[in-house]
Chains A and B, each alone.
Chain A
């Protein structure tokens, strides 16, 4: 995680509420950064920042939902928690469909708010974890040669060495050498594990 601490990014154009909620979240033990508009947040955020976003739904300029869709395009999207002064069903439905962690009224009970932030951060952490793993896996696959990738694609389809040698018009022993190299590079010990990481890394398009 490169020492990056999870941060709660609070965005609200009402400075008074912004100050109040950040006080509460800080007092509740969170690291908090405040932004008075969505555009300010987008401009100031770091590419690899960790944590979540707590945003007002109705803001002048870019509103909460627009921020949500802008964030979804990013390499490192942060999970979002929406706050609203006054419940608004259509907006909440859109927010939740867009993958929001939760949708709370500004005067929701403290516990509900803190729990939601906590869940949001946990989700951020797990999403970050899986993103990191996928990243590392990708790096391992990047080490494979083109021939090795070719062989691998046949292996995960469950073909035997002999069949692969015939298909690729190479010697069966050469196929074995490639398989050894692949398992070594990817750090796996069985065909089953090899199949799993290959699928996880999404190296190949879905098989027919």
Chain B
């Protein structure tokens, strides 16, 4: 009965181990149970043995399964409790193995030098055999090994108890209890010849039961864990689904870059945006190859900077997939570090082609509107500019005519003729400059942002507007220090703003007496490292309630005005990260001011 119990447990645990090869405890338990099964048969043999000779052989061979049993028990405890001193385990095993030597070579077996007689006593309604004989002193080796086993298990149980795992400590304690019981019985029987039946299998079975309980409890817990795991797995799947759904709905690409092995994982959308197939291997070079050559370096630098510095990564770039259609993509991510070393970066990718196109369209419209504004202003200036060009042209003509007359002389004054030619060249350049300036204003330019000298900006505009101011019998006063730093901007557009403000100023002077007609232009560097340019006039001024409205499109106080000059100017200045506003001049007239960022500083950032 004991044997069948043991065998069942052995088979069960063997199966457990077979299904999960890492559960060594189950294998060892199985071995323990198996060896106990074999031992039980020897025990039965002994109980039934009628002669000392038969008993002797039974005991001798019973030591073999005993060895296996003790060794496997020791290792089971070591592995299952994950505690105890390893050298004790080895000592137990070695001593027990050594005990087989005297078992087979000295006396009759390890326990007896000689079995003198066999008593037949009734036990539980049956006659069983109990040996009587001279104890074998070598028996001590086996018993020391059992003692060491007890010590080892006690030590392991205490360790486990201290670790806080009461359940396993109790399990160790229980094994200990049955072990002590077995050893005590053996001592009484073999050393003192106390008439006890050899039934180690009973405490051993208890021990097995305890062990089986421990293991099955584990199985129970494991199954509970599996349930929980399944639950959280379901949750995880749900959240992954949700994220995938969200990512798909927003067409969001998700990527992870493993920095140690230069490998990139990307979801389907992400791959699609770059034009990669689902199975294709992704690495950084492959990705960079798909990025537009003009953006490639910036993207590479962005990544390097994110890894070296702040960990955050953000960039916008163009991608040219193999199928050709160029797209604008934006990528945002964060680098993750382990012990100060960047291990991976993780982020999202999305298509911003539409936004970029809209931006592009807005830029184009802004340029277009600014151009229309310039053309209309140049129209106003046309007559003054014709005058401006006729001046040098007239000078050239008169000089040429004078030279002709000089050359009719038999001995012409060549010095004078040379001076005339130099003047002609100078005037030609002057006329050319007027035309260049005019053409610059009429061209449909792309935005060209560069450091611009404020004094040059002002003098160019003044050159364009001077003749007009003259024709309107108005004075222009310029106060721009040479020491001003350069500003950052598009020269033509900034000229346009200045020109617009000056022309507005001149327009406002109509109806003022001649001596008071003044437009003043000044510039200064303010505390916030921006250049502030002011255009003030002595005209009628702007009522306070209209100071804002003058920047509304189509708002105009002029009979011929379109009402687009100021909104365009404000648009231009804001595109230059500056501000344009109007003030009422307390001394009469209006003041317009605008700010521009200093170029040197913006280069440094």
Contact = CB atoms under 8 A, between A and B. Distances in A.
A60 B469 CA distance: 9
Nearest to B475: A60
A24 B395 CA distance: 10
A16 B427 contact: yes
B581 interface: no
B105 interface: no
A14 B391 contact: yes
A185 interface: no
Interface in B362-392: 383, 386-388, 390-392
Interface string B335-375: 00000000000000000000000000000000000000000
A105 B391 CA distance: 10
B396 interface: yes
A14 B434 CA distance: 15
Interface in A26-68: 26-28, 58-60, 63
Contacts of B395: 14, 16-17, 19-21
B344 to A, nearest CB: 73
The bracket for how many chain A residues form the interface is 20 to 34
Interface residues of B, number: 28
Interface stretch (B91-99, B170-178, B397-405, B494-502): B397-405
A153 to B, nearest CB: 48
B394 interface: yes
B423 A60 contact: no
B161 interface: no
B400 to A, nearest CB: 9
A59 B475 CA distance: 11
A107 interface: yes
Contact of A17 (B391, B401, B416): B391
A36 B339 CA distance: 82
B316 to A, nearest CB: 52
Contacts, number: 79
Contacts of B397: 20, 107
Contacts of A27: 401-402, 405-406
Top-3 shortest CB links A-B: A106-B394, A85-B387, A20-B398
B430 A58 contact: no
Chain B at the A interface: SS class? helix
B418 interface: no
B394 A17 contact: yes
6 contacts: A17-B392, A20-B395, A21-B398, A58-B471, A85-B387, A85-B388
A107 B394 contact: yes
Given A16-B427, A28-B405, A60-B470, A23 B387 contact: no
A110 B397 CA distance: 9
A203 B427 CA distance: 55
Given A16-B426, A85-B386, A24 B398 contact: yes
B473 interface: yes
A2 B383 CA distance: 46
B256 interface: no
Contacts of A173: none
A20 B419 CA distance: 10
B64 interface: no
B513 to A, nearest CB: 14
A86 interface: yes
Chain A at the B interface: SS class? mixed
A20 B149 CA distance: 127
Contacts of A60: 470
Given A27-B405, A60-B470, A107-B397, A20 B423 contact: yes
Contact of B405 (A16, A24, A83): A24
A63 B470 CA distance: 9
Nearest to B420: A23
Given A23-B420, A85-B391, A63 B473 contact: yes
Contact of B390 (A20, A63, A85): A85
Interface of A: 14, 16-17, 19-21, 23-24, 26-28, 58-60, 63, 83-86, 105-107, 110
B390 A16 contact: no
A56 to B, nearest CB: 9
A86 B392 CA distance: 12
A23 B405 CA distance: 10
A16 B388 CA distance: 13
A20 B470 CA distance: 22
Contacts of A21: 394-395, 398
A59 B467 CA distance: 9
A199 to B, nearest CB: 42
B393 interface: yes
A110 B403 CA distance: 13
A11 to B, nearest CB: 15
A83 B426 CA distance: 21
A106 B420 contact: no
Contact of A16 (B386, B387, B392): B392
A86 B383 contact: yes
Contacts of A86: 383, 386-387, 390
A20, A83, A105, most chain B CB atoms within 10 A: A20
B399 A23 contact: yes
Given A16-B430, A19-B423, A110-B401, A58 B383 contact: no
Nearest to B416: A23
A106 to B, nearest CB: 3
Contacts of A19: 395, 399, 423
A48 to B, nearest CB: 29
B404 to A, nearest CB: 9
A58 B298 CA distance: 57
Given A105-B390, A106-B391, A24 B401 contact: yes
B29 to A, nearest CB: 114
A27 B388 CA distance: 26
B471 A20 contact: no
B402 A20 contact: yes
Contacts of B388: 85
A105 B427 CA distance: 17
Contacts of B427: 16, 20
Given A27-B406, A58-B471, A20 B387 contact: no
Contacts of B391: 14, 16-17, 85, 106
A86 B386 CA distance: 7
B394 A58 contact: no
